[in-house]
């Protein structure tokens, strides 16, 4: 029994496209249940409306459920997606993470299998720093970080090659994710689901 939550923030659809790919991949990988969940928007409506691509994406994803700490408790595997914001995860995702104090204090996040992906405008815009910043939280949780590494041929594609987590380069365009990056998310998700299943079997046998 493997429950997978894909929890993401996206302004203009790049991370949303990757999150959808992750959710599809989790189902394909044999997860029992999969939830695709966005985190709450924190930006004022005026800011969202000032950018047509942002407003369009917000409207198009209005029916995506918002993540709660109950989803984290439910999940065995959590894939986190965030665009890079000045080399860091988006505040919206960080705000959600900062609601997990209760679960953390009860040890309820220990052994969650986690992995994360990002999108930047430029190739050197801070993909690794974003993913490493998320990992800081996962260490505190006692979660099991499952990076893609170079554990599959797809990772050797020059468009990927990010062992920290799938990372797309949008060039500032909305929903502009290369197929190679979607393939990387798919592999990363499959690996996380397989490791979670193996961990579960191992823990049950001890």
17 is written with which tokens?
């496209």
Q: Closer to ligand FMN by CB, 43 or 195: give it.
A: 43
Interface with ligand FMN (CB under 6 A), residue total 20
Kindly tell me which residue out of 119, 135, 167, 181 binds ligand FMN, with binding defined by CB under 6 A: 119
52 is written with which tokens?
């047509």
Q: Closer to ligand FMN by CB, 67 or 143: give it.
A: 67
Kindly tell me which residue out of 31, 38, 94, 125 binds ligand FMN, with binding defined by CB under 6 A: 125
**121 near ligand FMN, rule: CB under 6 A:** yes
Give the Cα separation of 39 and 100 in Å (integer).
13
- Helix (H/G/I), strand (E/B), else coil: 84: strand
The burial class, CB within 10 Å (0-12 / 13-18 / 19+), for 103 is: middle
x/- mask, ligand FMN, residues 157-196, rule CB under 6 A, reads -------------x-x-x----------------------
Kindly tell me which residue out of 14, 135, 137, 162 binds ligand FMN, with binding defined by CB under 6 A: 14
Q: Closer to ligand FMN by CB, 124 or 201: give it.
A: 124
Kindly tell me which residue out of 21, 29, 77, 85 binds ligand FMN, with binding defined by CB under 6 A: 85
**115 near ligand FMN, rule: CB under 6 A:** no
What minimum distance in Å lies between the beta carbon of 91 and ligand FMN? 9
Q: What count of Cα atoms within 13 Å lies in the side-chain half-sphere of residue 89?
A: 24
| Residue 29 burial (CB count, 10 A) | 21
Q: What are phi and psi of 50, to 5 degrees?
A: -75, -15
What minimum distance in Å lies between the beta carbon of 59 and ligand FMN? 14
Instruction: State the angle between helix axes of 14-28 and 179-204 in degrees (0 to 180), rounded to the nearest 10.
Output: 50
Q: What string of DSSP letters covers 58-74? A: HHHTTTSPBP-HHHHHH
Give the Cα separation of 184 and 129 in Å (integer).
19
Q: Which residues would be at the binding site for ligand FMN (CB under 6 A)? A: 10-15, 83-87, 119-122, 125-126, 170, 172, 174
């Amino acid at each position: 029994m493997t429950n997978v939550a894909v929890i993401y923030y996206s302004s203009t659809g790049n991370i949303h496209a990757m999150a959808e790919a992750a959710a599809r991949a989790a189902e394909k990988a044999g997860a029992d249940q999969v939830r695709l969940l966005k985190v709450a928007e924190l930006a004022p409506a005026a800011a969202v409306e000032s950018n047509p691509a942002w407003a369009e994406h917000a409207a198009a994803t209005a029916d995506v459920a918002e993540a709660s700490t109950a989803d984290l408790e439910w999940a065995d595997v959590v894939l986190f997606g965030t665009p890079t914001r000045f080399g860091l995860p988006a505040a919206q995702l960080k705000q959600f993470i900062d609601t997990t104090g209760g679960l953390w204090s009860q040890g309820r996040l220990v052994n969650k299998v986690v992995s994360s992906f990002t999108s930047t405008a430029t190739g050197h815009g801070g993909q690794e720093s974003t993913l490493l910043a998320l990992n800081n939280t996962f260490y505190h949780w006692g979660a099991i970080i499952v990076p893609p590494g170079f554990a599959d041929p797809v990772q050797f594609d020059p468009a990927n090659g990010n062992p920290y987590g799938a990372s797309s380069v949008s060039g500032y365009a909305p929903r502009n994710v290369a197929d190679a990056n979607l393939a990387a998310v798919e592999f990363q998700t499959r690996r996380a689901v397989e490791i979670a299943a193996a961990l579960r079997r191992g823990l049950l046998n001890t």
